[in-house]
Amino acid sequence: MYISSELEAQNPPCIRIIETHNAFRFHIMTIDGGTIGCARQCNVQLPDEGAIDEEHIRIFYDHQDPASDNITKGFWLRNQSRHAILVNETVVTRKKTVEINHGDIMLIGDNRLVFHIHKGMNTCNECEPGILAKEAEKQAAELKQTKRTSETARREFMVSMKRKYGLDRGHHVSSSSGAGEYSDRAKFRRKHVGSEIDLPSRSTGGTRSTTGGVYDECVARPAPGGGTGLVDTVELKAKPKRPVPTPITEENKGHKLLKLMGWSEGKGLGKSGQGTVDPLATQLKADRTGIGHEKAGGAAEPPKQRTTAKSRILEKTKQRFEQLGDNF
């Protein structure tokens, strides 16, 4: 059934409440009225921020003037809270009633609400749901672009500051991706400093290089050019001999002092020359033994464990048991 605009204009009006702070979310309220607050039963529920009561505002249609008994048709709001609200530039305190007109703006806490009043199903460009959805998407895209642009600007500023003070070591920031390039510090160290163990490089003929590699100190090192493919021949190296200790020179102060006391080179110390002539052997000490120990350089005796009273009693009992066995 087609309804003309004239008949539609005769229908009771509706009020559309648009939350401009919340992605242009809108609510429709008929002539039955409703409430605005933070409670669940409210027609328009706002976030509880401390300055909004459960039923903060009540909206109703047709207000009777108590002075003249005249009924003025329209939407009215009454502040039910102890917190004041702002309608356009008018402060509305507790229990105060004001009329709502088309295009009024109300501030309640940090929330900004815009009222649109139309008869029937009529709308305008500022309260059409499809247009509001597009505006919300556009606003979200602009906000995202602003955040990304500010982050990119921050990164570029940091890069310029590092270059200015000589702190840039090859870490560049890409403005398109917004992330820094990866710096392989291990590769840089291997190239310019070198690793602790350099692996030998293979030649084109299939033999391994034996100079400057891991086989320098190896007894069974591969013979150069002695193998083909992956098979290497080895050559045995003689174990390096320990250097023979050289005696001290005559310029040594101790040498001069001993000569003044009657000592001659090749003789031992003491009144009758009974001292040691050979140099002291450089041997490893085992089990923390001191110099001059009879078993110096030999196998160390196992350390004696500390015995307890219980272990000593058990040892004596064992000895007595063995003596009884020998007697029988």
Residue pLDDT, tens place only, 119-130: 877 778 777 777
* Per-residue model confidence (pLDDT) at position 246: 78
Phi, psi of 115, deg, nearest 5 = -105, 135
* Amino acid letter, 248: I
**CA distances for 68 relative to 22, 64, 65, 75, 239, angstroms:** 41, 8, 6, 19, 125
Percent of the chain exceeding pLDDT 90 equals 3
Residue 68 has pLDDT above 70, yes or no: no
* Per-residue model confidence (pLDDT) at position 316: 92
**CA distances for 270 relative to 257, 264, 265, 267, 277, angstroms:** 14, 12, 13, 9, 11
User: Cα(119)–Cα(72) distance, rounded to whole angstroms?
Assistant: 16
* Per-residue model confidence (pLDDT) at position 122: 78
Following CA atoms 94, 98, 101, 107 in sequence, which dihedral angle do they give, to the nearest 10 degrees? -20
User: Cα(99)–Cα(73) distance, rounded to whole angstroms?
Assistant: 10
Could you tell me the domains of the chain? Answer: 5-127 (2.60.200.20), 199-238 (no CATH)
User: Which residue matches tokens 């642009």?
Assistant: 149
Judge whether 59 and 36 are in contact, CB under 8 Å: yes
More reliable by pLDDT, 46 or 134 = 46
* Per-residue model confidence (pLDDT) at position 292: 64
Residue 217 has pLDDT above 80, yes or no: no
Provide the whole-model pTM. 0.37
* Per-residue model confidence (pLDDT) at position 159: 87
Judge whether 38 and 54 are in contact, CB under 8 Å: yes
Q: 34-37 and 44-45 as β-strands: parallel, antiparallel, unpaired?
A: parallel
More reliable by pLDDT, 46 or 171 = 46
CA-nearest of 44, 12, 35, 17 to 132 is: 17
* Per-residue model confidence (pLDDT) at position 314: 92
Confidence of residue 175 (pLDDT cuts 50, 70, 90): very low
**CA distances for 232 relative to 199, 200, 282, 322, angstroms:** 16, 13, 38, 64
* Per-residue model confidence (pLDDT) at position 178: 45
* Per-residue model confidence (pLDDT) at position 164: 81
Confidence of residue 296 (pLDDT cuts 50, 70, 90): very low
* Per-residue model confidence (pLDDT) at position 313: 93
User: Cα(273)–Cα(228) distance, rounded to whole angstroms?
Assistant: 65
Task: Name every residue whose Cβ is closer than 8 Å to that of residue 298 and which is 6 or more positions away in sequence.
Answer: 286
Residue 82 has pLDDT above 80, yes or no: yes
CA 116 to chain centre: 50
